[in-house]
Amino acid sequence: MTLKEIKKLLQAEVIYGIDRLEEEIQWAGGSDLMSDVLAFGKPGILLLTGLTNAQSVRTANIIDAKAIVYVRGKKPDKEGIKLAREKEIPIFSTKYMMYTACGLLFSHGLPGVSKIQNNK
Amino acid sequence: MSTENGLSKRFEITGGDFGKAGSISTKIKEILQEIGINSTIIRRTAIATYEAEMNVVMYAKKADLTLHLTPAEISIRVYDEGPGIENIEMAMQEGFSTATDEMREMGFGAGLGLPNIKKNADRFEISSTPGKGTALDITIYLNQEGKK
Ligand SMILES: Nc1ncnc2c1ncn2[C@@H]1O[C@H](COP(=O)(O)OP(=O)(O)OP(=O)(O)O)[C@@H](O)[C@H]1O
Ligand SMILES: [Mg+2]
């Protein structure tokens, strides 16, 4: 799914990266908990989060996330936006809450990163 | 600073400085990218370093972080002054955390950091003296053949 489609589905505002909309995203994950993102995120992931501090962008950069969507109309703080520009990580803001934003993307074919561990 | 057997850099992490938390790991990632190291190895190093840095900011007073790079491996040492860890075995378990509500609001404190360092490292040693501090030695091999 391209960032352009993601922007449209989520009726999102582009905070940074308007020239990157043609790029493809393979999978996504949503969490406000950076501990989880660090432990379970995959390279190239689209990160959906409600956390707006600088660590949201720092974490995304550390795990090689491709782009960030802030849910519920949130936006990263100044430090976060600065880092996103430096590291060229597109950032979006959607009015949808986490569940709806993830549901919209998932139901339109963007898979998640979770691995179900079945203890056979 | 370069030495004859590789590159060495030292950084200081200040405990409690949430505003800057993670910026040293971000810097280390930049250094490794400039050198042109494989992206998977950089990512593993960056994740382990970031978890260690966050722990210093959350729990310790201050720390020295050294990055040492040889043709064979990347080594990250984080030696902090702080409360130390009473029970390392327990701290290494997924889900064990003494994080405060404030830390959780910052997006941390799930008790996943130390296990995640171990997962991303090829070698990981942790030792601690309660009341004094904690020492982490993280090693990631540059040549991954036959290894993790
Ligand atoms: N440098 C340190 N000094 C003192 N205590 C520490 C240090 N690092 C970890 N600990 C202790 O070990 C526990 C587990 O650490 P770990 O990094 O696994 O989880 P966490 O920091 O609580 O949460 P997360 O890493 O998921 O954000 C911490 O809650 C803390 O009690
Ligand atoms: Mg931690």
Candidates B22, B112, B119; nearest CB to A36: B112
Using CB atoms within 10 A of its CB, is residue B25 exposed (0-12), middle (13-18) or buried (19+)? buried
User: What's the DSSP call for residue A45?
Assistant: P
CATH code assigned at A69: 3.40.1390.20
Query: Residue B46: what pLDDT?
Result: 98
Closest CA to B73 of B121, B25, B105, B127: B121
For chain B, residues with pLDDT lower than 70 are 1-5, 145-148
CA quadruple B3, B43, B133, B127: dihedral positive or negative? Answer: negative
For chain A, residues with pLDDT lower than 50 are 118-120
Query: Residue A119: what pLDDT?
Result: 45
Question: Is the residue at A87 inside a domain?
Answer: yes
Query: Residue B4: what pLDDT?
Result: 58
Question: Is the residue at A27 inside a domain?
Answer: yes
Question: Is the residue at A118 inside a domain?
Answer: no
**Interface ipTM:** 0.93
DSSP helix/strand/coil, B59: helix
User: Which of B33, B41, B94, B112 best probes binding to A when mutated, by most A CB atoms within 10 angstroms?
Assistant: B112
The residues near A84 (Cβ < 8 Å, ≥ 6 apart) are A15, A16, A17, A57, A68, A76, A90, A91
Radius of gyration of the CA atoms of chain B, in A? 15
Kindly determine whether residue B25 and residue A32, on different chains, have CB atoms separated by under 8 Å.
no
Which B-chain residues 118-147 have CB contacts (< 8 A) with chain A?
A: 119
Question: Is the residue at A120 inside a domain?
Answer: no
CA quadruple B113, B119, B123, B126: dihedral positive or negative? Answer: positive
| Range(s) of the domain holding residue A96 | 3-111
- Structurally, how many domains does chain A consist of? 1
Kindly determine whether residue B43 and residue A38, on different chains, have CB atoms separated by under 8 Å.
no
Return the HEC string of B92-130: CCCCCCCCCHHHHHCCCCCCCHHHHHHHHCCEEEEEEEC
Nearest-10 crossing angle of helices A54-62, B23-35? 30
Which residue has its alpha carbon closest to ligand 1 atom 29? B97
CATH code assigned at B91: 3.30.565.10
On whether the CB atoms of residues B46 and B65 are closer than 8 A, the answer is no
| Range(s) of the domain holding residue B107 | 6-145
Query: Residue A116: what pLDDT?
Result: 62
Whether the CB of B142 sits within 6 Å of ligand 1:
no
Q: What are phi and psi of B89, to 5 degrees?
A: -55, -40
List chain A residues with CB under 8 Å of B113: 35, 38
pTM for the complete prediction?
A: 0.95
Query: Residue A120: what pLDDT?
Result: 41
Identify each DSSP E strand in chain A by its residue range: 13-16, 28-30, 46-49, 67-70, 91-93
Question: Is the residue at A116 inside a domain?
Answer: no
Ligand 1: nearest atom to the Cα of B51 = 25
